[in-house]
Amino acid sequence: MKCPYCGAEDTKVIDSRPCEGGAIRRRRQCVLCDKRFTTYERVEAIPLMVVKKDGVREEFDRMKIEKGMLRACHKRPVSADTISRLADEIENELMAGGEREIPSTVIGEMVMQKLKETDDVAYVRFASVYREFKDVRTFVREIEKMDQNPKN
């Protein structure tokens, strides 16, 4: 790291701590002129791409997951913190998977699984839109499957 005052290339780290946004704040001191300065370092992440059903690729947007879950959980006893935590879990699982392109179907299935574990009604609401239920019989079949396999 070059000193911004004298241009020397030899500096030492005096203090290092995490800060907002996942960055690391480092307090440095120049070995040559003894002046101190602060640097911020952050990991440069490669964006996660979502491959839609029609083949279009778009950058992953965590807010879409939250919005979908919020709609499914409307007037249900599921807190905003719970929804945020579930979205975090999904995002972390996707990032940890190491894949840079994820089919939207995989994300939809993950959301449905998290909702199924959290609230049955929210799960059915989300599934009805995601799986494009065409009639009441489809709802009934989905509910019957839930009765056969509770909280899978």
pLDDT in tens, 129-151: 887 777 788 878 878 887 777 66
Contact 40, 24 (CB under 8 A): yes
| Interval 91-106: pLDDT, tens | 889 988 888 999 999 9
* DSSP designation for 7: -
Neighbours of 94 (CB within 10 A): 19
Q: What is the rounded distance in angstroms from the CA atom of residue 36 to the CA atom of residue 3? A: 9
Amino acid at 1: M
Can you give the pTM of this predicted structure?
A: 0.64
| Interval 65-82: pLDDT, tens | 999 999 999 999 999 999
Contact 1, 11 (CB under 8 A): yes
Q: Is 107 left (phi over 0), alpha (psi -120 to 50) or beta?
A: alpha
Model confidence at 64: pLDDT above 70: yes
Task: Please tell me the predicted confidence (pLDDT) of residue 152.
Answer: 52
Task: Please tell me the predicted confidence (pLDDT) of residue 131.
Answer: 78
Round the average pLDDT of the chain to a whole number and report it. Answer: 88
Closest to 66 measured CA to CA, from 79, 53, 75:
79
Q: What is the mean pLDDT of residues 1-9?
A: 92
Cα dihedral value 126, 46, 81, 144, nearest 10: 20
Task: Please tell me the predicted confidence (pLDDT) of residue 70.
Answer: 95
Map tokens 């799960």 to a residue: 123
Model confidence at 43: pLDDT above 60: yes
Task: Please tell me the predicted confidence (pLDDT) of residue 6.
Answer: 94
Locate the domains of the chain by residue range: 11-41, 49-148
Map tokens 């005052």 to a residue: 5
Model confidence at 44: pLDDT above 80: no
Model confidence at 33: pLDDT above 60: yes
Percent of the chain with pLDDT over 70: 96
